[in-house]
Every structure is written in C-alpha cells, then in structure tokens.
Amino acid sequence: LGETATLRVDNLHAGYGASEVLAGASFEVRTGSVVALIGANGAGKTTAMRVLSGILKPTKGKVLLDGKEVQHLDASKIARLGLAHSPEGRKIFAPLSVEDNLLLGAYTRLPKIFGFAMKANSDLERIYKLFPRLKERRRQAAGTLSGGEQQMLAIGRALMANPKIILLDEPSMGLAPVIVQEVFATIKKLKETGITLLLVEQFAKSALEVADYAYVLEHGRIAVEGTPEELAKNERVIAAYLG
C-alpha cells in the first residue's frame, strides 16, 4: 500500500505501580495524517502520551518512531529523534515572553549554537505566519495571553523543534466553546501544511472534524477505530462520545 507510519504503537502496556492503565493498546499515525485518540476521562489517553514521549516507561510493548524502537529511550532523546509533545495544560513559561517561549521549543538543536540561532529565526517567521496573533504579542509575557492564545503558543513551540510528529494533548482543555472552535480552526490550518499529528481529545466531535483517522481508547485498549465517517455511524461511539 506504500503508506508509511511515522508512529506505530504495538501492544502497549503501562501503568502506575500495581495499576495497569494501558492494557495492550495498538495504533498508528501515518505520515502526513492527523489521527485522533479519543476516550472518556481516565481511559488512559494522557498515560499513552507520557509513554510515547518517554516520560513513562511501558511494562510491555513497542513504540516505533519512523520504524525505530524508542520505548526504552529517554524523553530528551525521543524529542531529538523528532517527537514533540504539547502537554495537557499547555505548560508555557508564564513570565517569559511569547518569543522566548517559542525559542525554547527549538532547544533540541541547542548543541550547534550558531546554526541554532540562524535557523531559529527562520522558524520563528514560519510560526508567526501561521499564528499572526503570536507575532503581534511576541514581546508580551506569555502568562498574559488568553487561554486560546496560550494553546496556540504551545502548538507553535512544539513546531519550533521541526518535529516529525506532534502529540497534542487535550488542546480544548479549560477553554470556552468559541475558543475551542478557534483552536480547531488552527489545527485545520496546520493540517494543510502536511503535518503529522496525534491529537488526544475528550471533545470527540471537534477531534473527528479534523482527523483523517481515529481510535477510541477504552480500559487501556483500542475498542473501536476507523475514519471519522465510520465512527460517526457507529452506534456505540454515538452513544458514548457524540450523543
């Protein structure tokens, strides 16, 4: 079929102490596609993101980034291999300016100081083109941005690393419905640039509007998968997530 997967997750098990949260989850994100991972509170979505980014080690299973096993590597190494994680709650640095927050996103290239500085400038311009509002506010402390703007900053910061894939964890969290729409409009714009994205969302409806393919996580396993059109016709998905 010739389709390549930037990220492939195979039979993943992980948890905290004796409690197993992921119990054999398998899914993939094909290159250039937007994939949604949806599921109820506590289904294990955030735990899956932690394992993918290397913060939490799985007890079993594989994570393949561009075909290479990474589940045993440190978070910093996985980041350098091209996986950028925009965490739940955004985690921007409130006292720093918008621009400094963006520059921090390029930290994976820090070893080459001069190359880094020159490249970072062109990356900044690219991000500002996507998010004109961040450009207008680039000297402002990030903590003074609105919730939606902070989410855009978190996405922009992830893009600064020029990643192969972005993990976007609950971009709608804590935002008013109208702002959620704005954030999803941004994700649509990003999608047009050909980005590879794994989107974790409780707002299944918004996630299915931007995704090429989706997985439903229940009790630590993939219970249902398909295109958004397929999921929108699935009685179980409608009852639990779209109703």
Residues forming the site for ligand ATP (CB under 6 A): 16, 21, 39, 41-47, 202
The number of residues in the chain equals 243
Report the nearest approach of ligand ATP to the CB of residue 200 (Å).
7
Query: At its nearest, how many Å lie between ligand ATP and the CB of residue 193?
Result: 27
> How far apart are alpha carbons 198 and 179 in whole angstroms?
20
Alpha helices by DSSP H, 131-173: 132-136, 147-160
C-alpha to C-alpha distance for 220 and 97, rounded to whole angstroms? 38
For residue 237, the minimal CB distance to ligand ATP (Å) is 16
Residue 237 and residue 232: Cα distance in Å, rounded?
A: 7
Which is nearer to ligand ATP, 123 or 170 (by Cβ)? Answer: 170
Q: Which residue, 6 or 47, has its beta carbon nearer to ligand ATP?
A: 47
Nearer to ligand ATP by C-beta: 50 or 109?
50
DSSP-H helix ranges across 161-202: 177-192
For the bound state, the minimum distance from the C-beta of residue 183 to ligand ATP, rounded and expressed in Å, comes to: 16
Return the sign of the alpha-carbon dihedral for residues 3, 66, 209, 12: positive
- 141 or 224: whose CB is closer to ligand ATP? 224
Q: Are strands 213-218 and 34-38 parallel, antiparallel or unpaired?
A: parallel
Q: Which two tokens stand for residue 107?
A: 């930290």
Coil, helix or strand at residue 78: helix
Task: Write down the least CB distance from residue 238 to ligand ATP, Å.
Answer: 20
- For ligand ATP, the closer CB: 131 or 215: 215
